[in-house]
Structure formats: structure tokens, C-alpha cells
């Protein structure tokens, strides 16, 4: 493993490359955003605004519309009607992609690239500086530094999730959209991810995290809840908890 620093620093750096800040109205704006897959609405017209630097929990059971909303916000899915912008730009545009990092619910990787090669590719693609030490620190923080030269396609569910988390955080971003990131993680992995969210917030990024993990929701001020594709709550996270909208995720497969 001579191609990259060893070992990671004792305290993972919270520093990351940043892009030039552009004065825009909000990190994300959805206006009557809707999606229908043909057998009924997956997302009813949704209007909301996520401000710069805001930290938001997005909750709802499977099929509530969370993933549909996030995928339209990233430009991976076309809306049936309405619109969504990322820092005033169309999802999927170069400007939007430059400022947005997306951590999907199902990690995908290149078949022939190691974890380290994924990190290098992503960092260089987005112009990250000093990425090598940052990559080593991320892998160390997530507990997978010794797997850096392995193919993530051969990992267990939990290890794949940790590799995907490192890839999402190696690049500069001003907005991160995250879909059920805690599923499959062990306790140490969950703690490390929450620490990474804290670092990103401190650095000024906006976060929208789809999860039922109380450990994250309780550290946000705002919670948005969807049910059957409709907005049922948008307010203080403490009120969402009091109304029983938030629950700790059930047991899931952890890494091995």
C-alpha cells in the first residue's frame, strides 16, 4: 500500500476542499415537484425550500417518496411535473453536480477499481486538493483503511456502505443528499458517519438525510416527513419526535 499515506492521522481532518461560494436563494428549492410511475403517484406535488447550511432529516416508511424526491433532486430521475433547483441550477447540470454530493441507499461501484482507486477517481474528477491524506483519514475514521486496496464489489453490505460513505465525502460539496445511510452499519460506523455529518455542517454544507436513525434526527433542527408520497410534516425535529414520527431503525445486516 505504498501508493498512499500510512497510517491515517490520529484525528481525522475536518478540512475539505471547498468550491467558490455563489450567492443563490437556497441550496434546494422544489416547486410542486411530482412523480407518477404509471400505477399511481409516487410523489404528490411537493413544495419546499432547503436553505444553505441547513441540516434536515427526511423521514418516512418505504414507499413514502423519499428516494423518489432525492433522485429527482440529483437529476437521476425526471419529474412528471413541477421543478427542483440546486443552488438555482437544474439538477444534473454541471453547476449543480459540482456543488452536490449524493450518497444513495444502494452503493454501486466500478467492478475493477479498488476502494483507493474509487477515492482517487472521485477526488480528481472534482478537483479536490490534498486528497490523499484526506482519503487515508476517511478510511481510518470508518475503520476500513486496511481494505483500501480491495475491490468494494466483493465487500459485505456494511463494508460497501462504509466505502460509499468515504467516496461521498472525499469530494468538495455544498449540499449533500443522503438516502438511508445507517442501514448495514455497525455501531462504530454509525458514530463515524454522524461525526462526518458534523464536520460537513461545521464546514458550511447543507445536509438532507433520509433516515429514521434517532441519533441523527435528534441532532437536527428540522424534520420533513412523507407518507404515501405526501408531505405530512415539516417542522422542528423535537416536535416530530414528540408526535412519534421518528423511530430507531430495526436491526440490519452489519459488516464483517
CA count, 13 A, side-chain hemisphere, 71:
17
Predicted pLDDT of residue 38: 84
Q: What is the pLDDT of residues 33-71, one digit of tens each?
A: 999 998 889 999 999 999 999 999 999 998 999 999 999
Query: Which SS3 state, helix, strand or coil, does residue 68 take?
Result: helix
| Chain mean pLDDT for the chain | 89
Domains of the chain, residue spans: 28-242
CATH number of 28-242: 3.40.50.300
- In whole angstroms, give the CA distance from residue 151 to residue 119: 12
Q: What is the pLDDT of residues 151-201, one digit of tens each?
A: 999 999 999 999 999 999 999 999 999 999 999 999 999 999 999 999 999
8 Å CB contact between 4 and 148: yes
Crossing angle for the helix pair 157-170 and 187-202, to the nearest 10 degrees? 10
Backbone conformation region of residue 65, classed left if phi is above 0, alpha if psi is from -120 to 50, else beta: left
8 Å CB contact between 168 and 103: yes
- In whole angstroms, give the CA distance from residue 178 to residue 227: 18
The strands making up 100-103's β-sheet, listed across from edge to edge, are: 100-103, 175-179, 206-210, 55-59, 222-227, 230-236
Q: What is the dihedral of CA 248, 250, 255, 256, to 10 degrees?
A: 130
Quote the pTM value. 0.86
Amino acid at each position: 500500500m505504498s501508493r498512499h499515506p500510512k497510517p491515517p492521522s490520529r484525528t481525522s481532518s475536518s478540512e475539505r476542499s471547498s468550491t467558490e461560494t455563489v450567492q443563490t436563494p437556497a441550496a434546494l428549492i422544489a416547486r410542486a415537484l411530482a412523480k407518477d410511475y404509471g400505477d399511481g403517484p409516487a410523489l404528490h406535488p411537493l413544495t419546499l425550500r432547503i436553505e444553505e447550511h441547513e441540516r434536515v432529516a427526511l423521514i418516512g416508511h418505504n414507499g413514502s417518496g423519499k428516494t423518489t424526491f432525492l433522485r429527482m433532486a440529483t437529476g437521476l430521475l425526471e419529474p412528471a411535473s413541477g421543478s427542483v433547483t440546486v443552488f438555482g441550477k437544474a439538477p444534473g447540470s454541471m453547476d449543480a453536480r459540482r456543488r452536490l454530493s449524493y450518497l444513495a441507499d444502494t452503493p454501486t461501484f466500478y467492478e475493477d477499481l479498488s476502494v483507493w482507486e474509487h477515492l482517487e477517481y472521485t477526488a480528481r474528477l472534482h478537483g479536490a486538493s490534498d486528497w490523499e491524506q484526506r482519503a487515508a483519514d476517511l478510511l481510518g475514521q470508518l475503520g476500513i483503511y486496511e481494505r483500501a486496496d480491495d475491490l468494494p464489489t466483493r465487500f459485505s453490505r456494511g463494508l460497501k456502505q462504509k466505502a460509499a460513505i468515504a467516496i461521498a465525502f472525499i469530494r468538495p460539496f455544498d449540499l449533500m443528499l443522503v438516502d438511508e445511510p445507517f442501514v448495514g452499519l455497525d455501531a462504530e460506523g454509525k458514530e463515524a458517519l454522524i461525526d462526518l455529518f458534523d464536520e460537513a455542517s461545521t464546514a458550511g454544507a447543507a445536509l438532507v438525510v433520509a433516515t429514521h436513525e434517532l441519533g441523527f434526527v435528534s441532532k437536527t433542527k428540522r424534520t420533513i416527513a412523507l407518507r404515501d408520497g405526501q408531505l405530512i410534516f415539516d417542522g422542528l425535529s423535537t416536535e416530530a419526535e414528540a408526535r412519534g414520527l421518528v423511530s430507531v431503525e430495526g436491526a440490519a445486516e452489519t459488516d464483517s
